[in-house]
Each structure stands twice: as C-alpha cells, then as structure tokens.
Amino acid sequence: MRHYSAAEAGQLARLLGGQAGRTAGDAWQVEHDDFVLTRMLRPTSTGSLHAGVARDTRRGVVLKLFLAGTLDRRSSARIRAAGEFLATSPHPAIVPLLARGRTADGHVYHACPLAEHGNLEESAAGGEPLHAFAALRLAAHGLAAAHSAGVVHRDVTPSNILLWQGGAWLADWDQGWFPGLEPDTDFVAATQGFASPRQQAGEPPDTADDIYSLGATMLWLLEQAQYPLPDRTHRAVTELAVDCMA
C-alpha cells in the first residue's frame, strides 16, 4: 500500500471521472462522487485496487477498478453477476458490496469495506493460528451459503479471506461462476497450489472445486502452525473439519 504519485492520481481521476488533488499532508488523492481514494494497493490482471474512505460514512473502503479494455463479453458478464450477488449478499461471511458503477468510458468499479486486520495469509504469518482457523470456519459457512445459491467462488485462498473486527469475509468473487452464465472451461481462475485437479483439467465449474481449495487452505494453515497445537487451536481445527464434512 502506498500513496499516489501526481501522475497516478491524475490518471485514476481521468479513469473514474473524478478529480485529483492534494491532502492537508501534501499527499495526492482522488475525489470521486462517493469516495476519496488515497492509496494504491496493487495492480490486478484487469485493472487496479485502491484504498480510501466513503464520503458519507468516512468508512474505509477498497475500490476494485476493472478497465474496459481488459474485459471481454464473458468477463463482463461475470463481473456484473458478481456485483449483483454481492449487493444482496446471502451471508455475513461474504464480503458486502458498498457500491458499484460504470464510468462514461465503460470502466467498472466495485467498492467493498476495508478489512482492518488484513487477510488470512497475513494473520497466519503473524503467528495467530487460533484466529486464523476460526476465520476459515466462518469463510466456510459463507461458502456453503454461496453454494446453496448455485455460486462457485473458484479461487478460495488464504489471501481472499479478509479479517475484520467482527469476523471474516470471503472476498474476490469476480472470478466466480454464477447461475445463468455459460461455463468458461478455458478460464482457470484458481491460484496455483489451491486449484482443484478438475479446474486444472478445464472441467466445468463445480462446488467440489471450492471444497478442494478450502481443504488446501486448511492444509496451508496447518503447515504454518507451531506444534504441538494449543488445546483451543486444536478444538478450532476439529470444529472446522467437522463443518467441512457436514
């Protein structure tokens, strides 16, 4: 995460139809109708990820920008379906969508709450196994709710499970498959090491892929843990395993 350069702020302002300016601390920011964006998080394969605050609530937000030139017909349909799904999120462990929109030039953005405590990958690296397994259990419940709605996430990984004061969110749904979309078997969304054999073989999307990735995430967490596991962490692992087999 870093502050914008003058050139980056100007470019982002043009893309969003906003205005670049300086903060009281002399850092560059981009003002939009709904948000004030202050930091670049990282580039993505379809655009970029930014952090800022909502104008009305001053709540921290993450804005994901999808550039029009990177989207074909199928990816546009997938991102639109993800926005509709998150706007009526069926479970508190699925990241809520605060806002979405399309600019005059056809760029699309989704805004979600900023997770104050980072993601599961960072938490495990920080030596908090109990919290990490509890968060993964919450994410598993959110995943089950998505599966009940016919949705396949397709990229369940430690970095896509976000941590906040009230629990955990499963995020990054724009790679998913949603009812009504044509199966895009040539599109492999999952991260290497967490993708199921079915996904790697180009099979149609299936909830079994997410279960495999959830198990791979649990295995990754176990590999990060210090042994012997404390009793409370051992119970959290057992509860998670029972949930996943239910």
Nearest to 35 by CA among 63, 61, 54, 60: 54
Q: Say what the pLDDT of residue 126 is.
A: 62
156 or 244, higher pLDDT: 156
pLDDT tier for residue 211 given thresholds of 50, 70 and 90: very high
pLDDT of residue 223: 81
Ramachandran class of 213: left when φ > 0, alpha when ψ lies in -120 to 50, beta otherwise: alpha
Distances (CA, A) of 58 to 22, 35, 61, 119, 218: 18, 9, 9, 22, 35
Structural tokens at position 231: 């009793």
Q: Examine the pLDDT at 240 and tell me if it is beyond 60.
A: no
CA dist., res. 45 & res. 140, Å (int)? 26
Q: How far apart are CA 143 and CA 190, in angstroms?
A: 15
The two tokens of residue 60 are: 């921290």
Model pTM score: 0.88
What band does 90 get if pLDDT is binned at 50, 70 and 90? confident
Beta-bridge partners for 109: 65, 101
- The arithmetic mean of pLDDT across residues 46-71, rounded, is 94
Q: What pLDDT is stored for residue 235 in this prediction?
A: 61
Specify the residue for token string 């969304």. Answer: 189
What was the pLDDT predicted at 245?
52
Helix (H) or strand (E) holding 29: strand 28-31
At residue 143 the predicted structure's pLDDT band, cuts being 50, 70 and 90, is: very high
- Cα 127 from Cα 211, distance rounded (Å): 25
**Average pLDDT, stretch 144-169?**
93
- Can you name the residues that pair with 35 across neighbouring β-strands? 54
